Amino acid sequence: MGGSDAEAMVGYLVKRVQQSLRRRCDAALRPTGLSMAQYAALRALADHPDASASELARLCFVTRQSFQDLLSGLRSAGLVGEGDARSAGRARPLALTAAGRRRLATAHTAVAGVEASMLSGLSANAKRQLAQALTACAVNLEED
């Protein structure tokens, strides 16, 4: 089976990697009871505890409404609750619960294992160069 020129294009390859990564992460996360979207929401909340819901939605690559739906499920599962910090306006701060922190730690180990598998065989320098190149591509596309 021969490949087309389109299949050698960087954009196609990025999408191929993204699809495979998502599929493998979903499988690795299944025992934790989290989806990739839920993991991303917990990770974003842990990494950016003072961020607004809009900022967290952007970090998770979803709309604010989709993020609110995710949060609703995470709250119901007891993984996210009200934070202690004061906030300005009507926004209520969010925080991971103890159960949320434990579930995130387990899920992060699963996702890190998939990433390690994806990067196996690459040198530390190649990994660094890949991260720099992908960051540059993202910045180029995000500029107005």
The identity of residue 76, as a single letter, is S
Query: Domains plus CATH for the chain?
Result: 17-142 (1.10.10.10)
For the chain, helix, strand, coil in percent to 5 are: 70, 5, 25
- Report d(CA 106, CA 109) in Å as an integer: 5
* pLDDT for residue 50: 80
In tens digits, what is the pLDDT along the chain, a chain of 144 residues? 456 788 889 999 999 999 999 999 999 999 999 999 999 999 999 999 888 888 899 999 999 999 999 999 999 999 998 876 655 555 677 889 999 999 999 999 999 999 999 999 999 999 999 999 999 999 999 986
Contact by Cβ (8 Å): 64, 70: no
Q: How far apart are the first and last CA of the chain?
A: 40
By C-alpha distance, which of 41, 46, 47, 38 is closest to 97? 46
